[in-house]
Amino acid sequence: MILVAIGANLAGPDGEKPLTTCRAAVSALAVMPGLRLDGVSRWYETEPVPRSDQPNYINGVARLERIPGVAISPESLLASLQSIEARFGRRRGELNAARTLDLDLIDMDGLVRDAPDPILPHPRAHSRAFVLLPLLDVAPDWVHPANGRTGPTLAGEVDQSGIRLLDP
């Protein structure tokens, strides 16, 4: 199971709203070679973390599965995710800056590694409600590969204020 967090809080290159961009990003994930889209969470509106004067984010999580017999490395998957971000106007710069699209590789088949990029599981996913709540929509039995704690346990320990489920 591969889990990709999706987020946006700025209009896309053609002026599309962040939710539209996030949905289009799911469509781009669905056609990635060697992978099959297995689920998409509900969408959440979330305050920026750390708190700032940025617009609120739209966040969700996609669950992907490898197509049997196809090899995909974490590095190639990260490069593909960054390519999708660039197509939607993502400009890398300041840490925690507002963005047109953010795709974070959260978990890749339970792989644990500290280097090289991408670090897996994502080093901050377990402490972010805006990742954990949508993650549980698509992987309710998820267990953090490094610390062995369940997703529901982790979600119960994080501040969930500033997060609102959008209408389904």
Q: Catalytic residues, which ones?
A: 90, 99, 102, 104
Which residues are CB-contacts of 81 (< 8 A; sequence separation ≥ 6)?
A: 4, 103, 104, 105
Q: How would you class 61 by CB atoms within 10 Å of its CB: exposed for 0-12, middle for 13-18, buried for 19 or more?
A: buried
Q: Which residue has the tokens 């699209």?
A: 101
CB 109: neighbour CB atoms within 10 A?
A: 13
Neighbour tally for 98: CB within 10 Å:
16
Residues near 155 by Cβ (< 8 Å), separated by ≥ 6? 129, 132, 133, 136
Can you read off the two tokens belonging to residue 57? 């984010």
